[in-house]
A and B are shown apart, each in its own frame.
Chain A
């Protein structure tokens, strides 16, 4: 579960993340990835703290955080549902699975449900093409997913 940010732990976690990469600001992308792993997302305070400690201008940190798909500036749900939209999955109908998920969850890809249970996102090919369409929920792979299965799959996670 994501850690809740406080002034102290932000300061410390940023310091530790930087130390892991030899205090080299060139490793910004990985520093941010590690911090996102801790907090679940990149908050404004966090990015400001990163900028302060790395001495990389905030405008540049902000561009990196909004440029790469790995980063999110909004809190995420308890479960992240990733729909692979790689070519093989697309040809096998992953867009239909995605549409169904959007319907059932009531959010668009890239968004999080209001109850902070689910974040729905698309992912560019996870390299499990033989399994298409692939859906990954918090790291667990589901292969050959059909729109019919979506509802019960979501229900299963809701009731956990």
Chain B
């Protein structure tokens, strides 16, 4: 067990836990857009930056990957934290002006106006989808292209990605909900990845429950017999 203070409050955390996890467990709010416990910390959105004092030294660090230590003092409410947090969100709002999730966040951390010229993106480039696809699903169906502000998330060559099984994990994890999954006429469609796959119906209840691509993927991965795989989770 590790004892630290966050904003003056004594907090007990597990060894190896990050400051963000410790804060969340203690009910202290730290905004974060590129963090999810299922994937490795990425430290890209910079919204979770806090001031951490260990001994004599104070550092300005990302809470999502900074590991707690005994008698560490964390401040999430200093002028520096607020100033950076606000401007970073303002920058994101200029990049993606129409995301309700960002507007909500703006209310919480107090961003009143956007003073920068606005682009028309909808993706905040947090890489959550890319990392989930790679780290959790293990498929690398999507990735980044380019660098700097022309960077984007896409499938290679912006063409239907071969490895993509339309599992929808990317859609589920997207913090700003811009990877829609549609199911129409027996197909699952993910417009963003230019991909469409026929749905498989449960051999018992007849409900669609996965795509053919997913079916093949699972078959290969688990080696389970086909008739068993054709039964949905509810009917198993």
Q: Which residues of A contact B (CB under 8 A)?
A: 44, 47, 57-63, 66-67
* B31 lies within 8 A of chain A by Cβ: no
Tell whether B140 is near chain A: CB-to-CB under 8 Å.
Answer: yes
Q: Decide if A59 touches B146 in the complex (CB within 8 Å).
A: no
Does B147 lie at the interface of the complex (its beta carbon under 8 Å from any beta carbon of A)? Answer: yes
Q: A58-B140, A60-B140 are in contact. List 13 more A-B contacts (CB 8 A).
A: A57-B139, A57-B163, A58-B161, A58-B162, A59-B142, A60-B143, A62-B156, A62-B157, A63-B143, A63-B145, A66-B145, A67-B146, A67-B147
**In the complex, what distance in Å separates the CA atom of A61 from the CA atom of B157?**
11
Complex contacts, B141 vs chain A, CB 8 Å? 59
> Considering the complex of A and B, which 10 residue pairs feature the smallest CB-CB distances, nearest first?
A59-B143, A57-B140, A62-B156, A58-B156, A66-B145, A66-B146, A59-B140, A63-B144, A63-B143, A67-B147
Q: Which A residue sits closest to B162, measured CB to CB?
A: A58
Task: Name A47's closest neighbour in chain B (CB-CB).
Answer: B156
Which residue of chain B is the closest to A59 with respect to CB atoms?
B143
Complex: chain A residue closest to B130, CB-CB:
A59
Residues in chain A near residue B76, CB distance under 8 A: none
The count of chain B contact residues (Cβ–Cβ below 8 Å) is: 17
The reply to whether A62 and B145 form a contact with Cβ atoms under 8 Å apart is yes
Q: Which of B101-143 contact A (CB under 8 A)?
A: 130, 134, 139-143
The answer to the question of B62 belonging to the interface, with a C-beta cut-off of 8 Å to chain A, is no
| Residues of chain B lying within 8 A (CB to CB) of residue A62 | 143, 145, 156-157
CB proximity of B205 to chain A, nearest CB, Å: 35
Complex alpha-carbon distance, A133 and B124, angstroms: 39
The 30 listed contacts between A and B (C-beta, < 8 Å) are A44-B157, A47-B156, A57-B134, A57-B139, A57-B140, A57-B163, A58-B140, A58-B156, A58-B161, A58-B162, A58-B163, A59-B130, A59-B140, A59-B142, A59-B143, A59-B155, A59-B156, A60-B140, A61-B156, A62-B143, A62-B145, A62-B157, A63-B143, A63-B144, A63-B145, A66-B146, A66-B147, A67-B144, A67-B146, A67-B147
A61 neighbours in B (Cβ, 8 Å) = 156
Chain B hits for A58, CB < 8 A: 140, 156, 161-163
